[in-house]
Structure 1
Amino acid sequence: MPKIQVNGIDLFFDIQGTGEPLLLIAGFACDSSYWSAVMASLVKQYQVIRLDNRGVGQSSAPDHPYTVKQMAADTAALLDAIGITQVHIAGHSMGGQIAQELALAYSEKVQSLMLLSSWAKGDGKFHAIIETLGDLPQILDIKLYSKVMLPWIFTEELYSTPGAIKQFINIASEYPFLPTTHGLYHQSRAILNSDTLDRLTHICCPTLVVVGKQDILTPVKFSEQLAQEIPNAELVVLERGSHGFLIECADTVATVMFNFLTNHSQNRRH
């Protein structure tokens, strides 16, 4: 899998499929593999580009502060390097923050925007959770860290499925590209220092906002605020969805994404 040098780091990326370009940006502590459950559907009609944000996966994890704007600049540099001039973008969680900054600073590159389980400005409770999730890797091993983090990600339904959570913890502990402690810390602080609320009215591309009704980490009110402030944004609230709906409800999320993309493809507009 390829890497390129951008903004002083090695950035890992992956391209699959053909068609209009679609960029997928993962969230805190997650690399490009977080989109795996929806990939089979998306690559049937789109050239899907995934990347590992700085701090995770196979990209560099420099031990100094990160910003969401910086990660957006990394992503824009990747698009330039691979010759993509305009792209549909989907960002999950922190990836949605990065996607917002891309739409604001590089609007000419963004054909449409999908913000999944994301927000413009977190509240006090959310900031306390993110601060803790950034600090805990310094004192917990990956299995204990997963036990702390996963209740914020998945539904009671999954926790009631025998062996499901244990399987996720085992997968996480055996993953070959675990993020570094300092990478997680710097990503968490990038989240805490990000705020797009007073700039959302400047996002001019077609925008879809999606959230799970059962999301306790980035609750529905965050997505309602995004949809209210971004001009003409569409809001979809999934009844069964949690913050981890890309895993728990992958088919449903892929369908919602497809419906939006179909309505905003170049072929349809022309």
Structure 2
Amino acid sequence: MSTFQSDDAVIAYDDHGTGDVLLLIHGHPFNRSMWRPQVAVLSAGWRVVTSDLRGYGESTVIPGRTTLDVLAADQARLLDHLGVDRAVIVGLSMGGQIAMDFYRQFPQRTRALVFADTFAEGETPEGKVRRNSIADRLQREGMATYADEELPKMVSQSTIAKRPDVAAHVLDMMRRSPAEGAAAALRGRAERPDYVELLGQVDVPALVVVGRDDTYTPVAVAESLHERLRESTLVVVEDTGHMPNLERPDAFNDALGAFLRQVSDRK
């Protein structure tokens, strides 16, 4: 693990491999360890960078509210710290929305985009109330009960039954997330902008990936995202929920690897 200072937070990160840069952004309420199956395979041909978002993992916990633009700016500062001009930006769930905001702020630094199990719409009034209520709950109760409740929504029942090691990893990440940091991100996500119009302006290649059994971002949501992008590929990973990169890493890595080869060929 390495660290660097991003404004008022110390960000923990890992940097594996050499070559063109692939920046992987985790979702809520996880940490950079969710990308281990991708790092293990893709670092053979790419320089793969993962970090813990502020408020998560081994990075600084900033109480209050952490908005997506701040999280995206941290990623740009990480690239600055590493001396990297452009990267392929990959995000899952909240990480996908951070990737959208990264493109909004830094389009010239975005070589390609990968959106996994995410959506572009802004928050609804009801959603704002719900996210802020969950944030209050996490601060009162901590992460344990919330993590237990969320596990069947994060991974499919098939994964829980057939790959208990994956389910245990997902549960452990959620339980270990600092409640204060997770609450701050939830409050910030409740105020997120609508990225739908931005999608139509994206002028780099994009890959949209979704788990067939994802209840948070159903296939229809991924199809809508795919249709709004000018140049994108849609991959549906069978027998998975919200985290296909962990539930079926071979299928996810195959889809991502094929996309990255196309990106490399465009040099």
TM-score (norm 2): 0.90
Shift of 1:116: 0.5
Partner of 1:93: 93
Go from structure 1 to structure 2 and tell me whether the alpha carbon gap of 1:134 and 1:113 turns closer, same or farther (over 3 Å shift). same
Partner of 2:252: 253
RMSD: 2.3
Asked if 2 retains the 8 angstrom alpha-carbon contact of 1:142 and 1:172, the reply is no
> Can you list the C-alpha shifts for 1:22-49, whole angstroms capped at 9, x where unaligned?
1000011111111112221111111000
Q: Which runs of 5+ in 2 are unaligned?
A: none
Shift of 1:64: 2.4
Partner of 1:78: 78
Secondary structure class of the residue paired with 2:15: strand
Go from structure 1 to structure 2 and tell me whether the alpha carbon gap of 1:104 and 1:251 turns closer, same or farther (over 3 Å shift). same
For 2:77 and 2:128, how far apart are their aligned partners in 1?
A: 29
Partner of 1:144: 145
Shift of 1:129: 6.2
TM-score (norm 1): 0.89
Counterpart selection for 2:190 from 185, 189, 192: 192
For 1:232 and 1:26, how far apart are their aligned partners in 2?
A: 24
Aligned length: 265
Shift of 1:53: 0.7
Asked if 2 retains the 8 angstrom alpha-carbon contact of 1:158 and 1:164, the reply is no
> Can you list the C-alpha shifts for 1:52-102, whole angstroms capped at 9, x where unaligned?
111101111111211101111111111112100111111111110011111
Asked if 1:17 corresponds to 2:17, the answer is yes
Go from structure 1 to structure 2 and tell me whether the alpha carbon gap of 1:161 and 1:130 turns closer, same or farther (over 3 Å shift). farther
Describe how 1:1-270 pairs up with structure 2 within 5 A: 1-121=1-121, 130-131=131-132, 133-161=134-162, 167-168=168-169, 171-172=172-173, 178-194=176-192, 195-265=194-264, 268-270=265-267
- Between 126-135 and 95-104, the greater mean CA deviation after superposition: 126-135
For 2:239 and 2:24, how far apart are their aligned partners in 1?
A: 22
> Can you list the C-alpha shifts for 1:210-229, whole angstroms capped at 9, x where unaligned?
11110001222222221121
Letter in 2 for 1:13: Y
Shift of 1:172: 4.5
For 1:32 and 1:191, how far apart are their aligned partners in 2?
A: 19
Go from structure 1 to structure 2 and tell me whether the alpha carbon gap of 1:162 and 1:260 turns closer, same or farther (over 3 Å shift). closer
For 1:57 and 1:83, how far apart are their aligned partners in 2?
A: 24
Asked if 2 retains the 8 angstrom alpha-carbon contact of 1:104 and 1:202, the reply is no
Q: Which runs of 5+ in 1 are unaligned?
A: none
For 1:142 and 1:66, how far apart are their aligned partners in 2?
A: 18
Letter in 1 for 2:45: Q
For 2:41 and 2:190, how far apart are their aligned partners in 1?
A: 33
> Can you list the C-alpha shifts for 1:107-128, whole angstroms capped at 9, x where unaligned?
1111111000111016758667
Go from structure 1 to structure 2 and tell me whether the alpha carbon gap of 1:169 and 1:200 turns closer, same or farther (over 3 Å shift). closer
Go from structure 1 to structure 2 and tell me whether the alpha carbon gap of 1:85 and 1:213 turns closer, same or farther (over 3 Å shift). same
> Can you list the C-alpha shifts for 1:121-170, whole angstroms capped at 9, x where unaligned?
16758667655543432344543222111011111212334966884477
